[in-house]
Amino acid sequence: MAKISIATVFMALISLLLTLTHSFSTENPTDRRILVLLDDLALKSSHSIFFNSLQSRGFELDFKLSDDPKIALQRYGQYLYDGLILFSPTTERFGGSLDVAAVLDFVDSGKDLIVAADASASDLIRSIAAECGVDFDEDPSAVVIDHGSYAVSGTEGDHTLIAADDFIKSDVLLGSTKIEAPVLFKGIGHSLNPTNSLVLKVLSASPSAYSANPKSKLSTPPSLSGSSISLVSVVQARNNARAVFSGSLDLFSNKFFKSPVQKVGSSNKYAKSGNEQFVTELSKWVFHERGHLKAVNVKHHKVGETDEPAIYRINDDLEYSVEIYEWSGSSWEPYVANDVQVQFYMMSPYVLKTMSTDKKGLYHASFKVPDVYGVFQFKVEYQRLGYTSLSLAKQIPVRPFRHNEYERFIPTAFPYYGASFSTMAAFFIFSFVYLYSK
Amino acid sequence: MGKSTVTTKDDAHALFHSLRAAYSATPTNLKIIDLYVMFAVFTALIQVGYMAIVGSFPFNSFLSGVLSCVGTAVLAVCLRIQVNKENKEFKDLPPERAFADFVLCNLVLHLVIMNFLG
């Protein structure tokens, strides 16, 4: 009995060691192991182009049925996967120990998520999305219908197959190559809270879209309509975990990847839809192959010196520098931008300067310490759409002048100096005159 | 009406002349002291005028300069009181003693000013 248990413990520790060496680390931010939960194993073949493209980029995909009782995201407190793909819109309950709270903890720990809903999305998927700020249409039978922007097909459809081309303008999210062809979409729409700064609409519906049941007549105006319907959104959490929420599982399917598309009303016929490019670029972003920044080597020193002092004096001239790199998928490349700012902050920024770069990742700024003493911080707060947020703070005290650092003679006080000495001289002369006058 | 203005002007002239005559009767040493006091007050006024223009930045220097003038004036006035022969109160005080007090007090005053001048 003891021998068997020792052997199992040993094997478990060995496998844990193996998983640890292959997991996400700060030196290599691209996710490696991804758990894919499907509600139907046929999805493995019907979405094979997407999965093969992920595997060819170096990801290890672990396919499981969503009600498999052996599903476990973490073991012994360590996460086994760096990313989670939920292609299981109809699943009411996950197998194993996975539930909404476990998925949210996964995202809270910094890992990434792709969730695809569909026309029959379950409450489980809807609540995961709602917790992340994405509100799917509450009507369970509603899908997105667009009579002005549907994809022309051979059969007279009910216009639920939409050709969407209203992309977010961001090279970080969607790559630098423009997606020419519209993206085919068939599924449910969701809305985002406009005050939420962490969620972004990547693919919006056209102004003529609305979310309703295609089989029944509309009795009331639909709750979701127009461009406020988002078809695909992304969430970048404050801990830089990234999630993609799509209202259509077919967006990722081989059928949509390969099919030609023509939007109604436009004469452009594209032989291939934009789905494959869209999904590939978005997956590169969500799994941290693009737009992941790191800031290292924060340095500050007085102008003319090289080592960092422990304290500055007011009205000193100092220089601050930081190196920012962007992960390119395989290596750290210098990040080039002209809007990185550094603040010299104590309750409010006394100095706010835009840093200049030498295009090799080094950003520097030099400024004069303000005429206020106290404990300041060098703060760099950098949040740009699609990039990880940088939040650096380095504390440094600032002292006032020592008593021997003031100027010895104040020029504006020369008249007073003169007056005092002149009264002394006058006293001296007066006493002579007074005593020696008869 | 004309007569009253002439009268006022005449009165002013008469007053001025009588003051001048009375003053010229004072002893020379008192006149020297008066001159010294005028100089000190004049210097103080210049400093106050300068401060009004420029602002009171090194306030300690301003106070030190004004105090030296004012203190000098005060001590000189005390010396004049004590040395004046017409003053019944200080009849028995030797003028040398008054002058010695004056010198000592001035030394202390200038010591204080040098320290406070910054």
CB contact under 8 A, A423 and B114: no
The pLDDT value recorded for residue A220 is 85
CB contact under 8 A, B117 and A434: no
Residues in chain A within 8 Å Cβ distance of B72: 423, 426-427
Distance of CA A206 to CAs A213, A226, A227, Å? 18, 6, 5
Alpha-carbon span A160 to B8, nearest angstrom: 112
What b/e readout covers A88-127, taking b as 16+ CB neighbours within 10 angstroms? bbbbeebbbebebebbeebbeebbbbbbbbbbebbebbbe
CB contact under 8 A, B117 and A433: no
Residues in chain B within 8 Å Cβ distance of A404: none
CB–CB contacts below 8 A, A to B: 74
Q: What is the mean pLDDT of residues A13-29?
A: 58
Let me know: does A214 contact A180? Beta carbons within 8 Å.
no
* Nearest-neighbour CA in chain A from B35: distance (Å): 9
A36-72 pLDDT tens trace:
999 888 999 999 999 999 999 989 999 999 888 888 8
CB contact under 8 A, A437 and B33: no
Rg of chain B in Å (alpha carbons): 20
Residue B105 tokens, joined: 């007090």
| Closest Cβ–Cβ partner in B28, B58, B64 for A437 | B28
Interface of A with B (CB under 8 A): 410, 412-413, 415-417, 419-420, 422-424, 426-427, 430-431, 433-435, 437-438
Q: Which of A129, A147, A146 is closest to A138 using CA atoms?
A: A129
pLDDT band, residue A215 (cuts 50/70/90)? confident
Task: Provide the 10 A C-beta neighbour count for residue A179.
Answer: 18
Q: What is the ipTM of this complex?
A: 0.88
The pLDDT value recorded for residue A16 is 58
User: By percentage, how much of chain A surpasses pLDDT 70?
Assistant: 93
Strand partners, A325: A294, A334
The pLDDT value recorded for residue A19 is 52
Q: What's the distance, Cα to Cα, between the start and end of chain A in Å?
A: 128
| Closest Cβ–Cβ partner in B33, B58, B68 for A419 | B68
Provide the residue type at A25 as one letter: S
Residues in chain A within 8 Å Cβ distance of B58: 410, 412-413, 416
Residue A23 has pLDDT above 50, yes or no: no
* Nearest-neighbour CA in chain A from B90: distance (Å): 19
The pLDDT value recorded for residue A26 is 64
A168-209 pLDDT tens trace:
888 888 888 888 889 999 999 999 988 888 999 999 988 988
| Closest Cβ–Cβ partner in B32, B40, B68 for A434 | B32
The pLDDT value recorded for residue A4 is 67
Residue A406 has pLDDT above 90, yes or no: no
Residues in chain B within 8 Å Cβ distance of A427: 72, 106, 110
A264-297 pLDDT tens trace:
888 888 888 889 999 999 999 999 888 899 999 9
Q: What is the mean pLDDT of residues A104-112?
A: 91
Range of A160-164, A374-378, A408-412 with top mean pLDDT: A374-378
Which residues are within 8 A (CB) of A227 and not within 5 positions of it... i.e. 6 or more apart? A166, A204, A205, A206, A207, A209
pLDDT band, residue A22 (cuts 50/70/90)? very low
CB contact under 8 A, A430 and B36: yes
Q: Domain ranges in chain B?
A: 27-117
Nearest residue of chain B to residue A429 (CA atoms): B36
Average pLDDT for chain A: 88
Is any Cβ of chain A less than 8 angstroms from the Cβ of B15? no
| Closest Cβ–Cβ partner in B28, B46, B68 for A420 | B68
Residues in chain A within 8 Å Cβ distance of B50: 415
Residue A408 has pLDDT above 90, yes or no: no
Alpha-carbon span A420 to A430, nearest angstrom: 15
Chain B 43-82, CB below 8 Å of chain A: which residues?
A: 43-44, 46-47, 50, 54, 57-58, 61-62, 64-66, 68-69, 72, 76
| Closest Cβ–Cβ partner in B33, B58, B113 for A420 | B113
Using CB atoms within 10 Å of the CB of residue A11, give its burial: 0 to 12 exposed, 13 to 18 middle, 19+ buried.
exposed
Residues in chain A within 8 Å Cβ distance of B117: 416-417, 420
Stretches in chain B below the pLDDT threshold 50: 1
* Nearest-neighbour CA in chain A from B22: distance (Å): 21
A321-368 pLDDT tens trace:
999 999 988 889 999 999 999 999 999 999 999 999 998 999 999 999
> Looking at A4-8, A244-248, A335-339, which range is the least confident one?
A4-8
CB contact under 8 A, A434 and B29: yes
The pLDDT value recorded for residue A375 is 96
Nearest residue of chain A to residue B36 (CA atoms): A430
Alpha-carbon span A150 to A332, nearest angstrom: 42
Residue A165 has pLDDT above 90, yes or no: no
Residue A138 has pLDDT above 90, yes or no: no
Q: What is the mean pLDDT of residues A133-150?
A: 86
Residues in chain A within 8 Å Cβ distance of B114: 420
Using CB atoms within 10 Å of the CB of residue B8, give its burial: 0 to 12 exposed, 13 to 18 middle, 19+ buried.
exposed
Supply φ then ψ for residue A60, to 5 degrees. Answer: -100, 115
Supply φ then ψ for residue A42, to 5 degrees. Answer: -65, -20
Let me know: does A284 contact A276? Beta carbons within 8 Å.
no
